[in-house]
């Protein structure tokens, strides 16, 4: 298998990486840029070593989709083991759309999302630009399989590089920006994107995906109907960085929820 020791490889890549183009997401730079260079050097399916344990990484939309959907039966096991300033302009547009469509009605339902394309686009762009995962939940190969010309033996652990899809400039027009137009067509209608893998894909897709989508829409729309979110007085910008390993952990920060005069 094509492979290398990840620690030494990252040291080399980090010394030659231009992080400026990813300055909006400072902690993405090391992970995304390094992994994209590994994929460029070794291909979209490559091996890293966690101690003496080989782990296969699937990088890029084609490889991740191939693993999650076309070879889902092979990877069926689990191994035992902040942006309010950025959203300011989008918030005003969401407020206007919600007010125009829902008006002063005291209630709304999930089906109203069909008439709120920009609101839906903002929610989905949050899932893309601020995914909580660096990588997908690990899988374990239950049979020998060839994936994109790469032989993966039974028992191998599989890591899905989610950021390699969600931040891929070949897929997204503005991958390092918060850009809701990623989910709008030329007529301003909301469009689904199969490259949005926030909940995974295939038979092992997140079991709570539909419930989460409903809750996100209801909670987000309810909050935006009643409040404007802004930084406290004297605070110019919050830390946009993330920390953590498997999950992205945002730093603690403060913000203000200001009641809107149009609140029902």
Q: How would you classify the pairing of strands 150-152 and 139-140?
A: unpaired
- CA atoms within 13 Å, Cβ hemisphere of 175: 18
- Give this prediction's pTM: 0.67
199: pLDDT strictly greater than 60: yes
Nearest to 239 by CA among 8, 1, 25: 25
Report the C-alpha gap between 69 and 200 in whole angstroms: 10
- pLDDT at position 9: 41
141: pLDDT strictly greater than 80: yes
Mean pLDDT of 174-199: 91
Determine which of 25-39, 118-132, 168-182 has the lowest per-residue pLDDT on average. 25-39
Q: What are the pLDDT digits (tens) for 10-53?
A: 344 344 444 444 444 444 444 444 666 777 777 778 776 554 45
The phi, psi pair for 130, rounded to 5°, reads -130, 45
- pLDDT at position 240: 62
DSSP per-residue string spanning 74-106:
TS-B------TTTTHHHHHHHHHHHHHHHTT-S
**Cα–chain-centroid distance for residue 137?**
13
SS3 of 42-55: the string is HCCEEEEEECCEEE
Mean pLDDT of 77-89: 54
Over pLDDT 90: what percentage of the chain? 24
Mean pLDDT of 85-101: 82
- Comparing 78 with 107, which gets the higher pLDDT? 107
Mean pLDDT of 67-91: 63
Over pLDDT 70: what percentage of the chain? 70
206: pLDDT strictly greater than 50: yes
Residue 105's CB is within 10 A of a number of other CB atoms, namely 10
Dihedral sign, Cα of residue 11, residue 17, residue 20, residue 25? negative
Nearest to 77 by CA among 142, 143, 147, 153: 142
- Comparing 260 with 5, which gets the higher pLDDT? 260
- pLDDT at position 200: 79
130 confidence band (pLDDT: 50, 70, 90): confident
Nearest to 222 by CA among 98, 122, 124, 127: 98
**Cα–chain-centroid distance for residue 255?**
23
Q: How would you classify the pairing of strands 3-4 and 45-50?
A: parallel
**Structural domains for the chain:** 3-259 (1.10.630.10)
Report the C-alpha gap between 203 and 252 in whole angstroms: 36
The DSSP letter of residue 212 is H
190 confidence band (pLDDT: 50, 70, 90): very high
Average predicted confidence (pLDDT) for the chain: 76
């Amino acid at each position: 298998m094509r492979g290398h020791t990840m620690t030494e490889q990252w040291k080399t890549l980090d010394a030659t990486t231009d992080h400026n183009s990813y300055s909006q997401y400072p902690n993405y730079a090391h992970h995304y840029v390094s992994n994209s260079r590994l994929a460029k050097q070794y291909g979209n399916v490559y091996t890293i070593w966690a101690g003496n344990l080989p782990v296969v990484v699937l990088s890029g939309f084609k490889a991740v989709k191939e693993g999650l959907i076309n070879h889902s039966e092979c990877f069926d096991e689990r191994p035992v083991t902040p942006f309010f300033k950025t959203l300011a302009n989008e918030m005003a547009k969401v407020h206007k759309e919600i007010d125009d469509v829902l008006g002063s009605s005291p209630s709304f339902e999930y089906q109203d999302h069909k008439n709120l394309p920009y609101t839906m686009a903002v929610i989905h762009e949050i899932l893309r630009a601020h995914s909580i995962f660096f990588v997908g939940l690990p899988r374990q190969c239950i049979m020998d399989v060839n994936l994109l010309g790469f032989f993966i033996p039974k028992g191998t652990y599989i890591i899905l590089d989610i950021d390699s899809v969600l931040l891929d400039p070949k897929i997204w027009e503005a991958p390092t920006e918060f850009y809701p137009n990623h989910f709008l067509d030329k007529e301003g209608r909301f469009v689904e994107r199969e490259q949005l893998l926030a909940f995974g894909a295939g038979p092992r897709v997140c079991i709570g995906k539909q419930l989460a989508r409903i809750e996100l829409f209801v909670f987000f729309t309810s909050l935006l109907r009643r409040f404007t979110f802004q930084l406290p007085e004297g605070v110019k910008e919050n830390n946009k960085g993330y920390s953590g390993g498997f999950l992205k952990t945002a730093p603690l920060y403060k913000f203000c929820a200001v009641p809107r005069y149009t609140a029902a």
